[in-house]
Structures are given as structure tokens and as C-alpha cells.
């Protein structure tokens, strides 16, 4: 039983690796968002986006 489970899990892992490599998946990124041009061009448009989606980071 353990043998079958391991083979199944291992095969899934290989498939996941193959799919991730073939489709260029990366893990841990924020997904892309659609931001209309007028929002992007307004003052602070990107700042709000960065604040909510990637966190505001100041320096030391």
C-alpha cells in the first residue's frame, strides 16, 4: 500500500515539476493585476497599488 501511495505521490510531484517548468510558474509572487491607465497615470496611482499589494517598505 505504501509503495503505491509513494509511486502516486512521486508521480504527481514529477508532473507538477514538469508543468511548472513548462508553463513558467513561480511561487510566492503577487499575481498580476489590471490597473486602468487613468489610475496608473494619476498621482499616487502606483503607490496605492504597491501599498496594498506588495507592502510599503521604507528604508532603514
Contact positions toward another protein, by CB under 8 A? 1-3, 6-7, 9-11, 13-14, 17-18, 20-26, 29-37, 40, 43-44, 46-47, 49-50, 53-55, 57-60
Element (H, E) at 1: none
- Smallest gap from Cβ 40 to another protein, in A, equals 7
Contact 31, 53 (CB under 8 A): no
- Smallest gap from Cβ 20 to another protein, in A, equals 7
SS3 category, 32: coil
CA gap 49, 45 in Å, rounded: 7
- Smallest gap from Cβ 37 to another protein, in A, equals 6
Amino acid at each position: 500500500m505504501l509503495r503505491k501511495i509513494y509511486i502516486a505521490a512521486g508521480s504527481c510531484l514529477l508532473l507538477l515539476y514538469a508543468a511548472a517548468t513548462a508553463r513558467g510558474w513561480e511561487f510566492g509572487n503577487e499575481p498580476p493585476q489590471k490597473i486602468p491607465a487613468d489610475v496608473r497615470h494619476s498621482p499616487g496611482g502606483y503607490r496605492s497599488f504597491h501599498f496594498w499589494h506588495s507592502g510599503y517598505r521604507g528604508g532603514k
